[in-house]
Chain A
C-alpha cells in the first residue's frame, strides 16, 4: 500500500500562528472555569497570549512550510506585528467597554484570538487555500463578535447582515480560486506566478479568477461598490469590536490583495485599470458620503472606506519600484489612528446602546480635555494633517502612485482628502466649541492605557517614521 507522504512542518515559521491558535483553544476551556463576574481574567489571558505572539515575531524563522502553503518573511513580520498590536489594543478596549455595558462574555476574547489567527493566516498564506481558510476563519469569528451583544437588535441585525454579505463575498472568492486553479493547475502563489497562461481561453479563465478573488477580498476591505455592509455593521457592532474589525480585517484583507498583485508581477498591468477604477470610486464615495453622517460610527465607517481607497493607491504604486513601503506604512498609520478614534467613542458611550452622534461631542473639551486631545489627534491624522502619522502615510501613497506613472490618481486623492477634511475638521471643532452640562466622562485604566499608547504612536511615528519604515522597507 502506498504511503501517504505528509509534508514536513517547520514550527518556527508558524510560531506566531501557533501561539494564537493553541492559546485560543486552551482559553476556550479555561474560560469555562472562570466565574461570570471575573471575565476580566479571560481578557488578561488573551492579552498575554497576544503579547507572547507579538514578542515571538523576531524569533520566527523566515521560510516556507506545509508544502509552500505558509510563508514567513521580513514584510510578514511587520504585518503580523500590526495585526497583533491591534488585537492587544482591542482586547484592552473590550475588557473595559463590554463590562461597562453588561455584555461581557468570555467567548469574546476567544473569538478575537481566533479572528486574529485568521488574519495571521492571511498575512502568511502563500497558497490560495491558506488565504481562503484565513479569510473564512476571520469572517466567521467576526460574524459572531458582531452579534455578541445579544439581545440588542442592532447588534443581531448587523451580525446577520455581515454574515449574508460575507458569505456572498466568500462565494466569489471560491469561484475565483477554482478558475485560477483550473487555468494554472496550482494553488501555490509562487507556482501560479510561473504558470500564468500567456494566451488562449486559459488566460481568460485566469484573469476572470483573479477578478473574482479581488471581489471576494474587496468585500472584506470594503472597496466601493462592495462596501454596502460597512456602515451598518460598524454601527451595530459593539464599539470595541468595530475598532477591532475596522483595522484587523482591513490590514489582513489588503495583505491578501497585495499578495495577489505581487504574484501577478508584470502581468499586474492587466488588472491595473480595474484597481484604478476601484480606488477612485472608493476614495470619492467614502469621503463624500461621510459628510452627510451624523452618527460618529457611521462617519468613521465611511471614512474607513475612503482610506481603503488610499491603501489601494499604495498597492497600485507597489507594482513599481517603490515597493511595499507605502501601503504597509499607510496600514500601520490607519491602524493607530482608527484605534484611537474608536477608542475615544467607546469611552464616551454610556452603559446603554445609544449610538453617539456629532452633537454628543459638543463641548467635550470642557468635560474631558484628555479624550478631546486624543480624538483631535486621531481626526487630524485621519485627515492627513502633519505632523501626525496619517500625513506621512498619505504622502507616501501619493508619491508611490505618482512614481508608478499614475499622476492623475494623485490628483483624485487630493480631491478626496479635500472632501474628507471637511467632516474631520467639523468633528474636531465641534469638540472645542460650546460647553456642555453633561457630567465629566470617565475612562477606566485599561482603555486609558490603550488610548495613550495609540496617541503617542500617532505623534511618535509621525515624527520618527524611520521607527517602522525601516521594517517596512526591509520587506520590499
Chain B
C-alpha cells in the first residue's frame, strides 16, 4: 500500500463518509425524520469540509496528489487507486458542496424521506469515487454505480411515469458503458501484449501512449475510442444520444435533480477529458470535426427545443444539454483555452443550472405546477427571490461579469484556435448563446414580471432556501470576476494534459 503525503487517506474518507451516513440512515426508524435529516446533512457537510481542505492542500503543480493505491485483484493488475489533481479537485468540490446545499434546501415534499436521504448520500459517494479514481476499472465501477441510486430515486419518488423514466435513465447510459467496458478490455489487453504489463492504471497507460511504448494501429485505436466515446456521449448527453435525459429529469423529485443536473452529467464530459483523450489522442483528433458538429447541433437543437417548452424543468434540462455542447467543443479543441473553458463551463453548469432547478422546485412547491404560463408577477410578491433568480438567469445566459461568460468564451476561443475545428464551429455555436438568452429571458419575463395574480401569489421562500441561493449566486459572481480562482489550481494539470496530447498525436 502506498501512503500519500498527508499521512491519512483523504480521498477514501471523501468516498467513505457519505456511505457511512447512508448506512446510519438505513439503521434509523422510518419515523425518525429529523434524525435522518440531521445525519444526512452532517455527513455531507463533513465531506464538504474535507473537499475544501483538499482544495487548499493541493499543490498547483500537476500530476496526481494524495494518491492511494492498494492491490485489488493483483494477478490481473487491478488496483484501488485514487488521486486528485487540478482538474478533478473542482469536480469533487462541486459534488460535495452541492450535496449539503441540496439537502438543506430540501422541502418535506417526500414521503420517502429515509430512502431519499440515504440514496442521495450513496450517489454522492459514487460520484466522488468516479471523479477521483485513477484506475480505469475502478472508475468504471463508480461510473456505473451512480446509475443505481439515481434510478431508484426516480422510480420510488419520481412523478408521472416514473418507472419508464427510471428505466430509460438506467438503460441508455448502461448500454453506452458496456461498449466502454469492451474497449477497456481491449485497451488493457493491447497494453499487456505490447509491454508485458497487465494494468488498469490510467497514468501508466496514458504514459505508454505518450512515450510510444503502446502503439495501436489506426483502426484499433478508432474502434476502442468509439467505445469510450459512446459511453461518455450518452452520459453527457450529446445530441443525438440525449433522448433519455429530459424525460428522466422531469420525473425526478426536484431536490434530487439539483444533484443530477449539477454533477452527474459532468462525469461524461469528465471521462472524455480524463480518459478518452489521453488514451486515444490520434483518434480524438480524427473524430474532432464530427464531434464538433454534434456539439454544435446539441447547442442549437436543444436551445430551439427549450424555447418551445412549457414545463420549466423540461426547459432547463434542454438548457443543460445546450451548455454541455460548449463543454464538448472546448474539450475536443484540445487546447489549453478550450479545456479550461470546458472545465469552467462544467462548474458553471453545476452552479447555475443547479440553482435554476432549485428555483423551479420552490416555485412548483408553492403553486403545484411547473408550467411557466401558470405564473406571473412573482417579483412583486417576492423581490429577493426575483433578484437572485435574475442574477442566476444572467449567469446562465453568459452575461460578462458572471461565471457563464468566462466558460463559454474560453471554450469558443479554444475551438477557434484549434486546427481541427476552427471559426466555422464557433460562428454557429454563438447563435446558441443568443437563443439561450431568448428562452431564459422569456421564461423570466413571463414568471417574474407582469401583474401579480389575484390568487396563487408566490411568497418569498424560506430563509434556508434564500441562503442556499445566495451562496450559489455569490459563487457565480466570484467566478465571473476572478476566474483565476479556478485556473490557478487547474492550470498546471490542464497544460500538462494538453502537452501530452500534442506530443502523442502523430
Binding site for B on A (CB under 8 A): 365, 380, 383-387, 391-392, 394-396, 398-399, 402-403, 407, 410-411, 413-414, 417-418, 421-422, 425-426, 428-430, 432-434, 465-466, 469-470, 473
Our pick among A407, A429, A465 for the contact of B167 (Cβ within 8 Å) is: A429
8 nearest A-B pairs in the assembled complex, by CB-CB distance: A386-B141, A399-B185, A418-B175, A433-B163, A414-B182, A410-B182, A414-B178, A432-B155
Query: Complex Cα distance A355/B480, Å?
Result: 62
Q: List the B side residues contacting A433 at CB < 8 Å.
A: 155-156, 162-163, 166
Chain B 140-155 per-residue mask, 1 if CB under 8 angstroms from chain A, else 0: 1110110110011001
| Whole-angstrom distance between the Cβ of B6 and the nearest chain A Cβ | 25
Q: List the A side residues contacting B46 at CB < 8 Å.
A: none
Are the C-beta atoms of A395 and B181 separated by less than 8 Å? yes
| Whole-angstrom distance between the Cβ of B217 and the nearest chain A Cβ | 12
Query: Complex Cα distance A391/B140, Å?
Result: 10
| With contact pairs A399-B188, A469-B73, A473-B75 given, residues A421 and B140 touching in the complex (Cβ less than 8 Å) | no
- Tell me the nearest residue of chain B to A462, going by C-beta: B141
Are the C-beta atoms of A398 and B181 separated by less than 8 Å? yes
- Tell me the nearest residue of chain A to B163, going by C-beta: A433
Our pick among B142, B182, B188 for the contact of A411 (Cβ within 8 Å) is: B182
Our pick among B156, B163, B174, B175 for the contact of A365 (Cβ within 8 Å) is: B156
Are the C-beta atoms of A469 and B178 separated by less than 8 Å? no
| With contact pairs A386-B144, A391-B141, A410-B185 given, residues A421 and B163 touching in the complex (Cβ less than 8 Å) | no
B3 part of interface (Cβ distance < 8 Å):
no
Query: Complex Cα distance A205/B491, Å?
Result: 69
Q: List the B side residues contacting A428 at CB < 8 Å.
A: 151
Are the C-beta atoms of B186 and A402 separated by less than 8 Å? yes
| Whole-angstrom distance between the Cβ of A211 and the nearest chain B Cβ | 29
Are the C-beta atoms of A417 and B178 separated by less than 8 Å? yes
Q: List the B side residues contacting A398 at CB < 8 Å.
A: 181-182, 185
| Whole-angstrom distance between the Cβ of B380 and the nearest chain A Cβ | 41
Chain B 171-200 per-residue mask, 1 if CB under 8 angstroms from chain A, else 0: 100110011011011101100110000000
Are the C-beta atoms of B171 and A425 separated by less than 8 Å? yes
Could you show 15 A-B contacts with beta carbons less than 8 Å apart? A380-B148, A385-B144, A392-B73, A399-B189, A403-B192, A407-B223, A411-B182, A414-B227, A417-B178, A421-B170, A421-B178, A429-B163, A432-B152, A433-B155, A433-B162
- Tell me the nearest residue of chain B to A473, going by C-beta: B75
Query: Complex Cα distance A432/B147, Å?
Result: 15
Query: Complex Cα distance A417/B156, Å?
Result: 25
| With contact pairs A385-B147, A387-B145, A466-B73 given, residues A432 and B181 touching in the complex (Cβ less than 8 Å) | no
Are the C-beta atoms of B179 and A411 separated by less than 8 Å? yes
Our pick among A387, A392, A402 for the contact of B185 (Cβ within 8 Å) is: A402
Query: Complex Cα distance A198/B247, Å?
Result: 62
| Whole-angstrom distance between the Cβ of B414 and the nearest chain A Cβ | 32
| Whole-angstrom distance between the Cβ of A408 and the nearest chain B Cβ | 9
6 more CB-based (< 8 A) A-B contacts, given A391-B144, A429-B155, A432-B152? A383-B174, A386-B140, A386-B142, A418-B174, A429-B166, A429-B167
Q: List the B side residues contacting A465 at CB < 8 Å.
A: 72-73
B297 part of interface (Cβ distance < 8 Å):
no
Are the C-beta atoms of A421 and B175 separated by less than 8 Å? yes
| Whole-angstrom distance between the Cβ of A159 and the nearest chain B Cβ | 37
| Whole-angstrom distance between the Cβ of B145 and the nearest chain A Cβ | 6
Q: List the B side residues contacting A434 at CB < 8 Å.
A: 163
Query: Complex Cα distance A258/B325, Å?
Result: 49
Q: List the A side residues contacting B178 at CB < 8 Å.
A: 384, 414, 417-418, 421
B1 part of interface (Cβ distance < 8 Å):
no
Q: List the B side residues contacting A394 at CB < 8 Å.
A: 181
Query: Complex Cα distance A432/B170, Å?
Result: 14
- Tell me the nearest residue of chain B to A431, going by C-beta: B155
- Tell me the nearest residue of chain B to A394, going by C-beta: B181
Query: Complex Cα distance A402/B192, Å?
Result: 11
Q: List the B side residues contacting A380 at CB < 8 Å.
A: 148
- Tell me the nearest residue of chain A to B226, going by C-beta: A411
Q: List the B side residues contacting A386 at CB < 8 Å.
A: 140-142, 144-145
Are the C-beta atoms of A425 and B174 separated by less than 8 Å? yes
Are the C-beta atoms of B74 and A466 separated by less than 8 Å? yes
Our pick among B72, B156, B220, B227 for the contact of A432 (Cβ within 8 Å) is: B156
B137 part of interface (Cβ distance < 8 Å):
yes
Q: List the B side residues contacting A384 at CB < 8 Å.
A: 178
| Whole-angstrom distance between the Cβ of A473 and the nearest chain B Cβ | 6
Are the C-beta atoms of B181 and A414 separated by less than 8 Å? yes
Query: Complex Cα distance A425/B189, Å?
Result: 30
Chain B 62-105 per-residue mask, 1 if CB under 8 angstroms from chain A, else 0: 00000000001111100000000000000000000000000000
| With contact pairs A387-B145, A465-B73 given, residues A425 and B182 touching in the complex (Cβ less than 8 Å) | no
Query: Complex Cα distance A465/B156, Å?
Result: 32
- Tell me the nearest residue of chain B to A421, going by C-beta: B174
Are the C-beta atoms of B162 and A395 separated by less than 8 Å? no
Our pick among B73, B137, B184, B186 for the contact of A407 (Cβ within 8 Å) is: B186
Query: Complex Cα distance A270/B227, Å?
Result: 31
Are the C-beta atoms of B75 and A425 separated by less than 8 Å? no
Q: List the B side residues contacting A407 at CB < 8 Å.
A: 186, 220, 223
Are the C-beta atoms of B179 and A395 separated by less than 8 Å? no
Query: Complex Cα distance A434/B175, Å?
Result: 26
- Tell me the nearest residue of chain A to B153, going by C-beta: A432
| With contact pairs A394-B181, A407-B186 given, residues A426 and B137 touching in the complex (Cβ less than 8 Å) | no
Query: Complex Cα distance A391/B186, Å?
Result: 16
Our pick among B140, B175, B189, B220 for the contact of A403 (Cβ within 8 Å) is: B189
Q: List the A side residues contacting B188 at CB < 8 Å.
A: 399
Query: Complex Cα distance A466/B192, Å?
Result: 20
Q: List the A side residues contacting B155 at CB < 8 Å.
A: 429, 432-433
Query: Complex Cα distance A426/B74, Å?
Result: 35
Query: Complex Cα distance A426/B152, Å?
Result: 11
Q: List the B side residues contacting A469 at CB < 8 Å.
A: 73, 75
Are the C-beta atoms of A430 and B163 separated by less than 8 Å? yes
| Whole-angstrom distance between the Cβ of A312 and the nearest chain B Cβ | 16
Residue with the greatest number of chain A CB neighbours at <10 A, chosen from B75, B147, B220, B223 = B75
- Tell me the nearest residue of chain B to A396, going by C-beta: B76
Query: Complex Cα distance A411/B140, Å?
Result: 17
Query: Complex Cα distance A414/B193, Å?
Result: 22
- Tell me the nearest residue of chain B to A419, going by C-beta: B175
Q: List the B side residues contacting A391 at CB < 8 Å.
A: 141, 144
Q: List the A side residues contacting B185 at CB < 8 Å.
A: 395, 398-399, 402, 410
| Whole-angstrom distance between the Cβ of A243 and the nearest chain B Cβ | 25
Q: List the A side residues contacting B184 at CB < 8 Å.
A: 395
Q: List the A side residues contacting B223 at CB < 8 Å.
A: 407
- Tell me the nearest residue of chain B to A434, going by C-beta: B163
Are the C-beta atoms of B151 and A425 separated by less than 8 Å? yes
Query: Complex Cα distance A392/B181, Å?
Result: 11
Are the C-beta atoms of B171 and A421 separated by less than 8 Å? yes
